[in-house]
Chains A and B, each alone.
Chain A
Amino acid sequence: MNDNDLGRLSGPALDDALEQALGALPPSAEIVRAVTPWRRAMRRILIGFALCGVTLNFLALQYILPAAGLILQLLGFRALRREGGCFRAGFLLAALRLGVVFPQLAINATVWQQDFADMRPAALLTALALAAQLAQALCLYGGLRAVRRKAGLRPGAGAAAALILWYAAIALLSARGYSGLLFGLPLAAIYGLLLWSLRRADRALDDAGYAVAAAPVRLSDRALALLLAALLLLGVAAGYLFFSRLPMDWSAAPAACADTAAVRGQLQALGFPEAALADLSDADVRACRGALRVTAVVRDHPVNEGRQVTTRSPAGSVTDTVYDRRELRLSSVAVALPDGRWRIFHHFFWIAAPGFRGTEALQLWPACRDGMGWTLDGDWTGRVLCDRGGAALAAPFRRLGSRSYESGSFFGGASAHSDVFAEFSFPRGAARCRGYVAYTVAASAPGCIIDSWVNYVHQRSVLQYPVQTAAGFRMRSGMFASRRVFFTVQDALQFDPADPSAAPLG
């Protein structure tokens, strides 16, 4: 018979022949190592711990690695779940952590992530996930001891016990809000050492590991991992697709009331920009009844990087940024009221389509901020408008009002701020996107100029994780933030109200 002899057999005859022939081919050390009920599961658990404990803050690895680690821990503990209560508890805790962390990762892809993160249940869930991680280390410790005992070895799992202490230290530091390097670096080094010791202990347990029996599964490891990854990706994709814009209460824009026509005409005659005037609500127009004077500044701003143009001359070369398109028109208008107060409007109008439609925000540094000589009189008002399908739509801002926040300061640390934010989104397919914010100030000190600033923050890309709203970006990113996702346009209305003939500054 030749080499083809085995190839010609089939069914049970082939099985018998293979079994017999293999008797003459003892397994290599590689195969002996691979045939074990223990190593695969244990390696997954340890890699899972390693991935959940590291934080690499780039390329979203701080989210991807722990998510992969959670899945590996689930698979590892699942295989050993019939080997005593500790491993079973480890499996249940892994499932619990997945149930807590994965929805949070999906929420991170929505505009609600910051609101959710600021809520008390989110803090409780995070604490729960951390406690579950600590408990899992405890389960690992108990499980390793049980396996050693079952194999007739002296129970002991020092590295796992140290891992529990390490997680306890992390939980303590986390509860105290510690984020410095003084403890962080030594803890990271200790963590590496612990995992290395655990790996060694795992190798030492290889012989004892033959005493465990892997639990059968109804869904293969690969299918389960793929299912979990797919669920997570679907959740994240759904977040980006359906919850990347703020929900707005759009309705047909009401026509201007006839009784405001006279005030509108008067404001226009005083120099109120016509396009901005047309967008004011009747209430805001009525608030300007008897207007004495209007001071307005209208500027078109680019919402792009422009192009660099170098001009050479005998004195040298000069590089300027040239903007071929100016997409956003900002109009800042102050209306002098008969009782000495001023009503100030910051209006915006997208001359060209805004491009990506995510979240938008107006951040005001109003004339009534501390020490500027003016006080706020009344509420913040305003609305957003757009045209869609030939119909004019209007909506109140999703949120409008003063917000207190902390942001990184230029000199390090955090500084406290309180600014006025108007948050909104435009619907897909909308044209002539526009809106305004208005407020009234009264003089609290003589001789002060009116100095009112507006920052328009536009989201230009969906590529951010976790998702921030335009306002959230302004509040958290500080003054030197990247323009990759959000682009800020700044404008101001500055003039001396005591000098009717003076033109606005700037």
Chain B
Amino acid sequence: MDEHELLALLRAHDERGMRELLRRCGPLMRYILTPILSDPREREECLSDCAMRVWEKIDRYDEHSGSFTAWLSAVVRNTARNRARSQRAAAQELPEDYPAPDNSPESETLRRERAAALAQALAALSARDRALFYRKYYYLQPMSQIAAELGLTERAAEGRLYRLRRKLRAALGGDCRE
């Protein structure tokens, strides 16, 4: 079954689409979940959540805006991150004066500005550096995993990331020193 057939089944809410999604994209989804959720049981639950989200939101996916795998990656990453965050929040007893999430128009504007500035800075990086950056800050992979997959020692991977962060800070108008 190719990707078009998979998408067609998902859009038609055909259960075979769900099975094919898990069979075909299960390894990728678990690969993204693993660094974010350390508990295997949590991961399996989250995998089901992710599959449900794909099932529900498949109509929002536009083939012209990017690959299905990229869209799926974003769904899985965000679902896992939200789950991890809520887990952390549940585990900690927050003080009464703990600030609520800031959803004001000002902070939304700030987030957009940050994203735009970051997109501009990332565009100036090499493809290799961009991938490294996404591994660290998007896929939230631990340094040991990044190093192993890039054929680097952890120390060398940390060094590369350090230099990359400095470069980015400079591109974002900050001081090169950390």
B111, B133, B148: the one within 8 Å of A24 (CB): B111
Q: Give Cα A26 to B69, complex, Å.
A: 11
Q: Does A309 have its Cβ within 8 Å of any Cβ on chain B?
A: no
A1, A18, A28, A220: the one within 8 Å of B156 (CB): A220
Contact B151 A213 (CB under 8 A): no
Q: Does A403 have its Cβ within 8 Å of any Cβ on chain B?
A: no
Contact A207 B24 (CB under 8 A): yes
CB within 8 Å: A-B pair count: 163
Contact B174 A7 (CB under 8 A): yes
B residues less than 8 Å from A207 (CB atoms): 24-25, 27-28
A residues less than 8 Å from B170 (CB atoms): 7
Q: Give Cα A22 to B69, complex, Å.
A: 17
Contact B70 A28 (CB under 8 A): yes
Contact B144 A151 (CB under 8 A): no
B residues less than 8 Å from A31 (CB atoms): 70, 127, 130-131, 134
Contact A21 B152 (CB under 8 A): no
B34 to chain A, nearest CB (A): 9
Interface size grouping (class) on chain A:
35 or more
B residues less than 8 Å from A79 (CB atoms): 148-149, 151
Q: Give Cα A37 to B35, complex, Å.
A: 13
Q: Does A4 have its Cβ within 8 Å of any Cβ on chain B?
A: yes
Contact B113 A3 (CB under 8 A): yes
Contact A25 B67 (CB under 8 A): no
A214 to chain B, nearest CB (A): 4
B27, B128, B153: the one within 8 Å of A210 (CB): B27
Stretch at the interface among B9-17, B43-51, B71-79, B92-100: B71-79
Quick one: which of B116-163 are within 8 Å of A by CB? 116-119, 122, 127-128, 130-131, 133-135, 137-140, 144-145, 147-154, 156
Stretch at the interface among A8-16, A343-351, A447-455: A8-16
Q: Give Cα A428 to B3, complex, Å.
A: 71
Q: Does A27 have its Cβ within 8 Å of any Cβ on chain B?
A: yes
Closest to A207 in B: B24
With A207-B24, A210-B30, A210-B31 given, is the CB distance from A35 to B148 under 8 Å? no
Q: Does B115 have its Cβ within 8 Å of any Cβ on chain A?
A: yes
Q: Does A19 have its Cβ within 8 Å of any Cβ on chain B?
A: yes
Contact B70 A25 (CB under 8 A): no
Q: Does A29 have its Cβ within 8 Å of any Cβ on chain B?
A: yes
Q: Does A482 have its Cβ within 8 Å of any Cβ on chain B?
A: no
Q: Give Cα A30 to B116, complex, Å.
A: 19
Q: Does B57 have its Cβ within 8 Å of any Cβ on chain A?
A: no
Q: Does B53 have its Cβ within 8 Å of any Cβ on chain A?
A: no
Q: Give Cα A252 to B77, complex, Å.
A: 82
B135 to chain A, nearest CB (A): 6
A residues less than 8 Å from B148 (CB atoms): 37, 79, 213-217
B residues less than 8 Å from A8 (CB atoms): 173-175
With A27-B70, A29-B67, A35-B134 given, is the CB distance from A9 to B149 under 8 Å? no
Contact A217 B28 (CB under 8 A): no
Contact B118 A25 (CB under 8 A): yes
Quick one: which of A284-301 are within 8 Å of B by CB? none
Q: Give Cα A10 to B169, complex, Å.
A: 8
Q: Give Cα A209 to B152, complex, Å.
A: 19
Closest to B166 in A: A10
Q: Give Cα A1 to B69, complex, Å.
A: 34
Q: Does A75 have its Cβ within 8 Å of any Cβ on chain B?
A: yes
A238 to chain B, nearest CB (A): 29
With A14-B165, A210-B30, A215-B148 given, is the CB distance from A3 to B71 under 8 Å? no
With A28-B70, A34-B127, A216-B144 given, is the CB distance from A152 to B137 under 8 Å? no
Closest to A76 in B: B151
With A18-B118, A21-B115, A79-B148 given, is the CB distance from A35 to B27 under 8 Å? no
Q: Does A23 have its Cβ within 8 Å of any Cβ on chain B?
A: yes
Contact B149 A40 (CB under 8 A): yes
Q: Does A219 have its Cβ within 8 Å of any Cβ on chain B?
A: yes
B23, B74, B113, B147: the one within 8 Å of A5 (CB): B113
With A3-B173, A10-B169, A37-B149 given, is the CB distance from A25 to B66 under 8 Å? no
A153 to chain B, nearest CB (A): 8
B 73-105 binary contact with A (CB < 8 Å = 1; else 0): 110011001000000000000000000000000
Q: Give Cα A32 to B118, complex, Å.
A: 18
With A28-B66, A32-B73 given, is the CB distance from A20 to B111 under 8 Å? yes
B103 to chain A, nearest CB (A): 13
Contact A217 B147 (CB under 8 A): yes
Q: Give Cα A36 to B25, complex, Å.
A: 13
> What are 21 A-to-B residue pairs whose CB atoms are below 8 Å?
A3-B113, A3-B116, A6-B117, A6-B118, A7-B171, A7-B174, A10-B178, A19-B138, A22-B134, A25-B119, A26-B66, A29-B69, A34-B128, A37-B148, A78-B151, A79-B148, A208-B27, A210-B31, A213-B148, A214-B148, A218-B153
Which residues on B are within 8 Å of A, measured CB to CB? 23-28, 30-31, 66-67, 69-71, 73-74, 77-78, 81, 110-119, 122, 127-128, 130-131, 133-135, 137-140, 144-145, 147-154, 156, 165, 168-175, 178
